[in-house]
Structure 1
Amino acid sequence: MYIRRILVLLAILSLFSTCRPLKRPVNVNFAHLYNSEINVVQPEYSILHHHTDSTKLTIYINPDELLYVRDATEDFFTSRFQLSWYLFESFDSRILADSARIRFTDTLTIDPKPFLERTVNFATPPGTRYTLFTEFEDLNRRSRHQDALTPDKLHPYTSQFFLFAENKNSVFSTPFFLSLQKNFEITYAKALDFELSAHVFPVHDNIPVPPFVITDNQIDQVPEMVADTSFVLNFRNGKSSVITSHKGLYHFHEKGNSEHGFVAYAFHPGFPDVSGSVDMLRSLRYITSSDEYQQLFTYNDPMLATERFWNRSAGNPDRARELKNRYFNRVNNANILFTSFVPGWQTDRGMIYIIFGPPHSVFKTENTETWRYTEGINIPSATFTFNRIDNKYSYNHFALERDQAYRSTWNHAVSIWRR
């Protein structure tokens, strides 16, 4: 009897030791996603729905961000890292649809690749927009990076069913930032024959007003957009092509159903980088008076106009260079992080990110983000809440909850750029 009890106890302990605690994206601080200086390791992910009931997740890791340790028995250095993932049917769900943990190794070579690439597959029945909570860990350094991805299978024409390629060495998944006047091959996940309608919309020119201004003139509702041009994409055996002959937002969708589609961006040469473009000038609207802003456009060269502006504002060339680089780095990052149906710097999140910098904490729900800034030498204390705006073009568009109480906080933050 005694031995039997011991065996039962050991079995129970064994069961509990093999059960991993459920990890969910709620109550996780995602500030590191908006600040590359927080985490040493920063994996990137791409999602491709390569089968009706499954999805391929590809992880890209910069080997310079991993710690390689000399093997005790061999004369080489090895990194050890692992990916844990938890699939939910929504961000706020407590019900786990699937999960796994996979360990990888890599051996340091004389001529390492710029990125390590690993893939995993997981089951995703169609008809749902899932949340995939990932935890990447460098086991040698004992550091980790968490993310919340959105495998979108609401319909068979989301962006994650497609790949774009400018040439055989340049194949990429969503988001689709396209160069102008280029020919791109488009590959669908399945070798089918079908047609997609395509519409090209001009770039929306509205710039958000400060967060203390409460007005209807905001992109908190999707504006009425009229296409500059329309055409049809013919897919044969899962392949088609498009020439980006027009600047703007490219919307591809199922014929007769504009709700089932995806977008690609051909906003200006070099996007998401704004260097040399008119967006260099337009993005300065957040810290300029009306007269200063109009004066910027009297120059023929955007680079010259911005140089003059920063030299006048900063007072000396060294500080001007520092402020200019910091400001436009944030503009470029905003384009990468927050682009929706408008460039990221033109969104509410982009505006706050540019002026205040990366938030100190970011907490998410299914349809909200709450950013908090703790008071520092050059940062006032503030909390901003953004709400997702439902639209057929982008799942990445959020509107700020505006409040007149932000006036002093905003004016203080802007004044720091002008000292």
Structure 2
Amino acid sequence: MNFQKTMKKMKFNPYYTILILLAIVAGISSCSTTPRAFKADYAADYNTVAHTPRRPVLFAIKQGKGQVALSVCVFTEGMVPDSTLPGSPAWQFRAVFENWDPAAKTIVHSQTFVETRRINAPFLPDTVWLNYTGNIDTTTGQYLILNLTDQVTGLSLYSWTHVVDSLFPFVRDKDNNLLANQWIKKNSNPILPPNVSVDLCKTCDRPLPRPPFELQPVETMPPMHEWKSSFDITTNYSIPAGMLKVTSKETDSAFFLPLVSNWFPYPVNNTDGLLAIRYITTREEFFSLAARNDPKEALYSIWQTSASDKERAGERVRQFIAKITDANTFFTLSKPGSLTDQGLIWIVVGTPNRVWKSPFKETWFYDSLDDGLPLRLDFDLTTDSVGAQAWVLRRSPSYKTMWNRAVDRWRR
């Protein structure tokens, strides 16, 4: 009865009609459980296309008695659940592990795995960890190949190829386990093989990445770096100053690894955790926070005044630490990933909706930010003054408004 009286009073009002239609559309959108479709039309522009906002990462490679164990973090955007599988809905992952000899043009060993994972729709996980074990032959010139696809759609989820040269495996521990190939922890006690030389760069301090609207300064003369050939890896070198250069004595090829804390990629000390705070603080705030011994306490103090309550402040701290951890995991090359250009954008701006990838270029796409406009960011693979590879953002003054809004969003 009350409803009828209300309708009579409203009569016909276009304003109310628009509100009702908007509410219906919003309700339909919020209840949708259809996964986002893979945008394959972007593949024509680059050699490869990344349909996921984050690059897959390979972890925990351990070699022993001719076997290698691969733990792969798979990003599931674009996968389609199969409702016909037992315990549906579920995903099916197909992994093909090959050891290929290019000289003989033969596959030395091949293994195929099909794994089913049940999912709880509509709460689809962003990532799934998969573990595979296969044989390995460390003869020079061998290739290790792992291709991972969606069994239902055939969508390529992950492809990894590694050349087994004189640098692989380059460092093992006392139990003959290959250590992580993205960084070296200070107290890992590595055993270096005789066919490589390792140098420590003592003067490779690098500034934090500049905001995306500050253009790259012109470097008139490359800086001189001091290298130390004899050192104790367990010494408490600072990060990111502690960087190792591993060089093959046979081929003279080299790559660079940062020395990191034992808890890396999780930020637990001032050096790992507090440096990234600079992205969302003023200079005065940063130096005040850096003087504290507990990085979590320093992080918490940022949101104590701006957050509505303690629970909200704690949630923001957890989100920020998670962002730093992800950046360290996915973007570490010669220095921790949270201190790179890609880590800077990942932490402050957020996860891109799509990524275009080629061997020397990555383009991140954001469908809509606070202003409702899309954003495109380009990264180029370059070599820095040390000789290490780094993904460098193409900066532009036009990014200033976007950046300020992203920082403000974090401070709320």
User: When the two structures are superposed, what TM-score results if normalisation uses the length of structure 2?
Assistant: 0.66
User: Equivalent of 1:325, from 298, 318, 324?
Assistant: 318
The residue aligned with 1:185 is: 191
In the alignment, is the contact (CA less than 8 A) between 2:67 and 2:135 conserved in 1? yes
CA distance in 1, matches of 2:93, 2:224: 51
User: Equivalent of 1:103, from 109, 112, 116?
Assistant: 112
The residue aligned with 2:172 is: 164
Give the letter for the 2:179 counterpart.
F
Query: Aligned-pair distance for 1:398?
Result: 1.0
In the alignment, is the contact (CA less than 8 A) between 2:246 and 2:254 conserved in 1? yes
Pairing of 1:275-290 with structure 2 (within 5 A): 275-290=268-283
Query: Aligned-pair distance for 1:354?
Result: 0.7
The residue aligned with 2:134 is: 119
Give the letter for the 2:190 counterpart.
F
The residue aligned with 2:96 is: 83
CA distance in 2, matches of 1:315, 1:359: 28
What percent of counterpart residues are identical? 21
**Secondary structure at the residue paired with 1:353?**
helix
CA distance in 2, matches of 1:181, 1:252: 18
In the alignment, is the contact (CA less than 8 A) between 2:149 and 2:156 conserved in 1? yes
In the alignment, is the contact (CA less than 8 A) between 2:198 and 2:244 conserved in 1? no
The residue aligned with 2:359 is: 366
CA distance in 2, matches of 1:26, 1:84: 25
**Secondary structure at the residue paired with 2:253?**
strand
**Secondary structure at the residue paired with 2:157?**
strand
Change (3 A) 1:361 1:246: same
CA distance in 1, matches of 2:363, 2:172: 33
Query: Aligned-pair distance for 1:146?
Result: 2.4
Aligned residues: 342
Query: Aligned-pair distance for 1:410?
Result: 0.9
The residue aligned with 2:348 is: 355
**Can you give the 5+ residue segments of structure 2 that lack an aligned partner in the other structure?**
1-42, 118-128
In the alignment, is the contact (CA less than 8 A) between 1:47 and 1:58 conserved in 2? yes
Give the letter for the 1:230 counterpart.
S
Query: Aligned-pair distance for 1:352?
Result: 0.7
Query: Is 1:316 paired with 2:309?
Result: yes
The residue aligned with 2:28 is: none
CA distance in 2, matches of 1:48, 1:269: 18
**Secondary structure at the residue paired with 2:243?**
strand
User: When the two structures are superposed, what TM-score results if normalisation uses the length of structure 1?
Assistant: 0.65
**Secondary structure at the residue paired with 2:335?**
coil
Query: Is 1:264 paired with 2:257?
Result: yes
CA distance in 2, matches of 1:27, 1:106: 28
CA distance in 2, matches of 1:69, 1:182: 44
CA offsets, 1:363-416, max 9 Å, x none? 122211111111056986211111111359777511111111111111111111
CA distance in 1, matches of 2:57, 2:279: 32
CA distance in 2, matches of 1:301, 1:217: 37
CA distance in 2, matches of 1:106, 1:385: 35
Change (3 A) 1:120 1:269: closer
**Can you give the 5+ residue segments of structure 1 that lack an aligned partner in the other structure?**
1-22, 36-41, 72-78, 90-96, 109-113, 233-241
In the alignment, is the contact (CA less than 8 A) between 2:257 and 2:333 conserved in 1? no
**Secondary structure at the residue paired with 1:185?**
coil
**Secondary structure at the residue paired with 1:162?**
coil
User: Equivalent of 2:291, from 292, 295, 298?
Assistant: 298
Query: Is 1:336 paired with 2:329?
Result: yes
Q: RMSD across aligned C-alpha pairs, in angstroms?
A: 4.8
In the alignment, is the contact (CA less than 8 A) between 1:165 and 1:171 conserved in 2? yes
